Structures are given as C-alpha cells and as structure tokens.
Amino acid sequence: MRNYDYREKWKELLTPEIISLLTLIHEYKGEQRLIAERYADVLTDLVDLARIQSTESSNKIEGIFTSDERLKKIVLDKTMPRNRNEQEIAGYRDVLNTIHENYDYIPIRATLLLQLHRDLYKFQGTGIGGSFKNVDNAIEEVDANGNAKIRFQPVSAWETPEAVNQLCAAYNQVLKEPDVDPLLIMPMFILDFLCIHPFRDGNGRMSRLLTLLLLYQGGYYVGKYISIEKLIERTKESYYKDLQASSTGWHEEINDYAPFAKYLLGVVAASYREFFERTKLITSAKMSKPERIAQEIRNHIGTITRAELVEQVPDVSQTTVQRTLTELTKQGRIIKLGAGRYIKYRWNWDQEDEHS
C-alpha cells in the first residue's frame, strides 16, 4: 500500500517557478475579495455563466454533450434531463451547486466523496453512483490508428477503500502543519485521487469538482466567477501530458508531482487573470454595453471573432454584440476581415491615429 503522507513531500515542490505561481495567486486572492464584495450585485451574470461553462466543459472532456439551449436550461434548473447525457449533466450541476453553497461543511472524508459521487449519478438508475469500483479498471489511450493501450494501471479494486481513507487522512493531517500552503497540497491530492481512480466511472469529473472544493476551502473563490473546468478543457492536451508526467513511477513512490502542480496552479492563476479582465469592464458602470464591446476589441491583441467577443462580455446578448460590430464597422472604428463563418475583427488603429 502506498504511503500518502504529504508532510515531507510538499517541500519538494518549492521550486522558484511554483513559488512564483503561489505568490501571484495569493496576491490575486486579496484583490478578488475586494472586487467581489464591492460589486457583488453586478457579478451575478458571471456566476451563472461560470456554472454553465463548468458543467458543459467538465462533461465535454468526457465526451458528454447536449445542445447549448438544453444545457442552459438544465444548469439553470428549468427542465428535466431527457437522456443519459443530460442525466449526467444534471448530476454534475447538482454536485457543483452543493460545493458552491456548502463547501465549508464538506469534510474531506471517504464517506463524503461517496455521497458526492452518488449525487453525480442520482438521475440514473445504474447503481454506479456512491460506490467504489468493484472490479479493477485501467486508464487507456487510443493512438492515431485506433489501437488502445494501457496508459496507467490504477489501484486495484480491493485496495481502493483503504487507499481513499489514507489519502483523505493524509490531506487532513498535513493541513495541520503550520507552514503548509493548502494551495500546494491541492494538486498533490488531486493527482493521487486520479491515480487511485476509485470509481467505475466519473473519476475525471469528480477530480474537477474536488479541485473546486479544495480551492474554496482554502479561500480561493475564483471558480465561482470563472469556469476552471473550461480552462482545463481549453488546455486538455497539457492537462493529460502533465498528468502522465506526474503519475510516472507513482506505484513505486518515485513520481514527481511538479508537472501537474505547475499545470493546475497555472490554471488557477489564469482564472484570476480572466476574472480581473471581465470585471474591469463589467464594473465600469458609466460605460455603455456598445462601448464596453469596443473597448474589448481595442484591448485585444490581433483579431477577434464574434464568438470570442460574446465570451468576453458574458452579460451582453449576442444580438447586441452583432449590432455593435455592424455599427463599429460602419464608423470605421474596427476593420472586418474574412467572410462567412471565418469573419474576424480588429481595431482600426489608423483611424484612431488620425483623430488623436
């Protein structure tokens, strides 16, 4: 049985690069708290968008889809799921909401992990939810020719309950150490959880929900406003590469947590940067929506598509975005490039120079 004791292992992660990320995130944490308290009333749209994007992206990584319209209705609890994919999406929504609202009351214990997993599958009568795996599983990858091979062999089924108990005990134990930064332990716990792979199904989604839970419990609330899962989906090649790098030698207890820790802390830092970029515009109360759109294009390096713009100003409707793009093009403030689905826009700096 592996030794999950983190009390000495975390010190190996104190490299200049990781320390720099920790310092940056600590600074972001204080800034975000001030913004969230001051502008709580105008950040509601960001909260709803993050819930939708988190539910969509975390399921999409596992190949679980539905239409944009159905997704939004399911996440906002305005409809019942119609099929298995939607049942899994609805389950993720409910666990996500539980974490958002009750993170302080969810101790890191095997019994609570089982309850969260049970709720992940509560719309399905498959009996998968709420139980550890009862047969050995393997993490496979498929090459370009369609051939499957085992990438990692997780802990056996019979060892899993005790492994999860020891993992949770080690996490709670190390947080009692006075000099330990919870932010540093989080990626180590998530990596070990994925290497144990305790469930027959839903391990990836559970790992992302647990990432959010551990961040919340450490006082890092950026996941409430920015979808961490979406950033992972955008960078999933790096996610899988660093996960594999850190799991090499795991059973022999010679694995290096650093690649996965740097990746996950980088995602958290990127989430904070995106939060500040979005709130910079949203909290500009005197700026109209069209001017906010114009400012977003002006501040964007290179070209930007309408879809990217919609994502950057989540509280503005697509109709308003399109109307504004048309008007800004007529005024010559932006330049339209391409045609059809390949249309992009960029700021017309030549016109600005003429009027400066």
Q: What pTM was estimated for this model as a whole?
A: 0.82
**So what's the pLDDT on residue 36?**
84
Terminal CA-CA length for the chain? 70
334 beta partners = 347
pLDDT one-digit tens code per residue, 10-53: 999 999 999 999 999 999 998 888 888 877 777 887 888 899 99
Lowest-confidence pick of 133-137, 152-156, 274-278, 281-285: 281-285
At 355, the pLDDT band (50, 70, 90 cuts) reads: low
**So what's the pLDDT on residue 54?**
94
> Domain 289-355: which CATH class?
mainly alpha
Torsion, CA 328, CA 332, CA 338, CA 343, rounded to 10: -10
The region that residue 302 occupies, defined by phi over 0 for left and psi between -120 and 50 for alpha, beta otherwise, is: left
* Pair 174, 180: CB distance under 8 Å: yes
**So what's the pLDDT on residue 353?**
64
Exposure string over 174-193, b if 16+ CB within 10 A, otherwise e: beeeeeebbbbbbbbbbbbb
**So what's the pLDDT on residue 34?**
84
**So what's the pLDDT on residue 351?**
79
Percentage above 90 pLDDT, the chain: 71
pLDDT one-digit tens code per residue, 229-247: 999 999 999 999 999 999 9
More confident of the two residues 102 and 288: 102
**So what's the pLDDT on residue 96?**
96
pLDDT one-digit tens code per residue, 174-198: 999 999 999 999 999 999 999 999 9
With CA atoms as reference, report the closest residue to 119 among 107, 132, 128: 128
Structure token pair of residue 4: 């999950």
Phi, psi (rounded to 5 degrees) for 347: -70, 140
pLDDT of residue 148 exceeding 90, the answer is no
**So what's the pLDDT on residue 141?**
77
Residue partners of 297: CB distance under 8 A and separation at least 6: 304, 309, 328, 334, 345, 346, 347
**So what's the pLDDT on residue 286?**
55
Structure token pair of residue 109: 């214990």
pLDDT one-digit tens code per residue, 284-336: 555 688 888 898 898 888 899 998 888 878 778 889 999 999 999 999 999 99
* Pair 83, 260: CB distance under 8 Å: no
**So what's the pLDDT on residue 304?**
93
**So what's the pLDDT on residue 16?**
96
Q: What is the mean pLDDT of the chain?
A: 91
**So what's the pLDDT on residue 281?**
61
CB atoms within 10 A of CB 89: 24
CA distance 295 to 166: 51
**So what's the pLDDT on residue 269?**
96
Residue partners of 159: CB distance under 8 A and separation at least 6: 1
Per DSSP, the chain holds a count of helices (H) and strands (E) of: 15, 4
Domain range list for the chain? 9-282, 289-355
* Nearest-10 crossing angle of helices 203-217, 84-102: 20
Any idea which architecture 9-282 has in CATH? Orthogonal Bundle (1.10)
**So what's the pLDDT on residue 180?**
95
Percentage above 70 pLDDT, the chain: 96
Q: What is the DSSP string of 165-187?
A: HHHHHHHHHHTTSTT--HHHHHH
CA distance 184 to 10: 7
Read off the pLDDT of each residue in 75-88 and give the average, rounded to a whole number. Answer: 90
DSSP letter, residue 300: S
346 beta partners = 335
Structure token pair of residue 273: 């940067």
**So what's the pLDDT on residue 239?**
96
3-state helix, strand, coil in the chain (%, to 5): 65, 5, 30
Which contacts (CB < 8 Å, 24+ apart) does range 174-183 have? 174/5, 174/6, 174/7, 174/10, 177/7, 180/10, 181/22, 182/214, 182/217, 182/218, 183/22, 183/25, 183/26, 183/215, 183/218, 183/220, 183/265, 183/268
At 283, the pLDDT band (50, 70, 90 cuts) reads: low
More confident of the two residues 281 and 341: 341
Exposure string over 59-71, b if 16+ CB within 10 A, otherwise e: bbbeebebeeebb
**So what's the pLDDT on residue 140?**
84
Lowest-confidence pick of 14-28, 47-61, 166-180, 261-275: 47-61
